[in-house]
Structure 1
C-alpha cells in the first residue's frame, strides 16, 4: 500500500472473541497468505516465492483479518476499567461507524485468519480478488464482515470509476450483489454499454 494511504482498521466481537480487520501490511503473515494460495480453497491461485509474494502484497491494498489475543488479565491488586460493550454482527450501524475503528495493535497479539486483496490505483479502479477465511474460522460471519469493510472502502472513493471482481455463478453472484452492490457485467454488455474481455494465464 502506498505510504500516502492511511491504514484503516475495524473491530468486532463474536462470542467473546475480538477480531480486527486492518490494511496495515506489516501485520500480514506471508506464510498464512502463501498457505492459502496453495490450498484447494483458492483454486485460482498458487503459492509464490517469497520475493514475488512480497511484491504482490506491497502493490495491493490488503485487508487482513485477525483474531486478537490480549495480554494476561490484570491481577486483583490492579485497578480495572469499566468494560465497553462490543458491537456485534447483528448491529448494522457498526459497519460504517468510525466509533469502532481501532487505533493499532499495541500489546495485542494478532493471529491471522483471513484476508482480501484489492488490485488498485487507490483512486479510480479497484479489482477485488483473493477473498479468504480459513476453514476453522468460517460460520461466524467474518466473510460478510470482511466484504462490508471492502464496501466501505469503495463507498469512500469519490473518484471511483469501476470496481470489479470474479465470482462463481449462483451463490457467489448473489452474495456480491447483496453485500457489495456488484452487477453482472453481462447485463451491461446486453445493454451495449461495455464488453468484458480477459486473457487467462498460460496453462
Structure 2
C-alpha cells in the first residue's frame, strides 16, 4: 500500500521515548486493554525500554492521545503490539494514521513481515495493508503461565 492515511490537523506522531507519558500509557493498558489488564508498571517500563515506541500527541498541548510499540530486529521481523487510542479521539483516524506511520518507519528495513494480534480491530489494520495469515497452521506459540 502506498497511500498513507494522515493524522487529522492538530496531531503529531513521535518515536521519541522521552516524550511518552508513561503514566498514561500504563494506565491505558493496565486498566482498559484486554491484552494487558493488570500489567505491572515495572513490566510496562521494561517493554517500553526494549521497543520502538510511537506516540500521537495533540500538537498544541503536547498531550498524548495514542500509543503503539514495535518489537523488531529491524532486519527480518517485527511485532506490532500495545496499540491504544484514547477514547476521546477514536473515530478520528488517529489509530489508522499511527499504524500507517509504523509501517512507513519500518518499510526501509526490508522486513519480511510485521505481525500483530487483535480481537476487534481488524478493519483498522486492513486499511494499512495487514491481512490474515496465509498459512496459520504453520505458526506456533510458546506461552508461559
Query: Aligned residue for 2:94?
Result: 142
Q: Distance in 2 between matches of 1:154 and 1:110?
A: 25
Q: 1:60 aligns with which of 44, 47, 51?
A: 51
Q: 2:118 aligns with which of 155, 167, 177?
A: 167
Give the total of aligned pairs.
140
1:1-203 residue pairs with structure 2 within 5 A?
12-14=7-9, 18-40=10-32, 42-69=33-60, 109-158=61-110, 160-168=111-119, 172-179=121-128, 181-185=129-133, 187-189=134-136, 195-202=138-145
TM-score (norm 2): 0.84
Deviations 1:145-196, CA, capped at 9 Å, x for gaps = 11110121232222x122111122xx633432331x22222x324xxxx611
Deviations 1:111-137, CA, capped at 9 Å, x for gaps = 111101111112221100111111112
Q: CA RMSD in A?
A: 2.1
SS at match of 2:121: helix
- Higher relative contact order, structure no. (Cα contacts within 8 Å, ≥ 6 residues apart): 2
Deviation at 1:201, TM superposition (A): 4.0
TM-score (norm 1): 0.62
Deviation at 1:12, TM superposition (A): 4.6
Q: Any unmatched runs of 5+ in structure 2?
A: 1-5
